Amino acid sequence: MQKKRILVVEDAAYMRDMLSEMLEQAERSYEVVGFAVNGKEAVEKYKELKPDIVTMDLVMEVMDGIQAIRGIKKDDPNALIIVISALGTPEQKKAALDAGAGEYLWKPFTIKNLFDALEKLLGKRKDERGSAT
């Protein structure tokens, strides 16, 4: 099985490192292919790297996560994006999902929460493909 390629969008270095370590565990099927520290960079890196999944922080300099989600979805309406944020209000979650995110995970989270959300996101993609045929 080919590893799913992931772009990690996060402005905090410790969170980028933690996500990378979690995602690249040997028994999992994920590979971090790039990092972005703000939304503008996320949109550019998405176009360059064409990852399978994006993990997206919301609060960042230059361009926030909601704007970045919109930018990525404009370029690729089928992009799979999971928001990972400390912002836990229902309004922020709704804004992220309305912008095109497929899943929303609140910080702090466990490795189980992360993989459950990723599998759920990938399951949604399979459901969409299955119903289109």
What's the CATH class of domain 4-27+39-132? alpha beta
pTM of the model: 0.89
CA dist 76 and 74 (Å) reads: 6
Give rounded-to-5 percent helix, strand, coil for the chain: 50, 20, 30
Rg value, the chain, Cα:
14
Q: What is the pLDDT of residues 75-131, one digit of tens each?
A: 999 999 999 998 778 888 999 999 999 999 998 888 899 999 998 998 865 555 444
For the chain, the domains span 4-27+39-132
- The confidence score (pLDDT) of residue 127 equals 52
Q: What is the pLDDT of residues 26-73, one digit of tens each?
A: 566 888 999 999 999 999 999 999 999 999 999 888 899 999 999 999
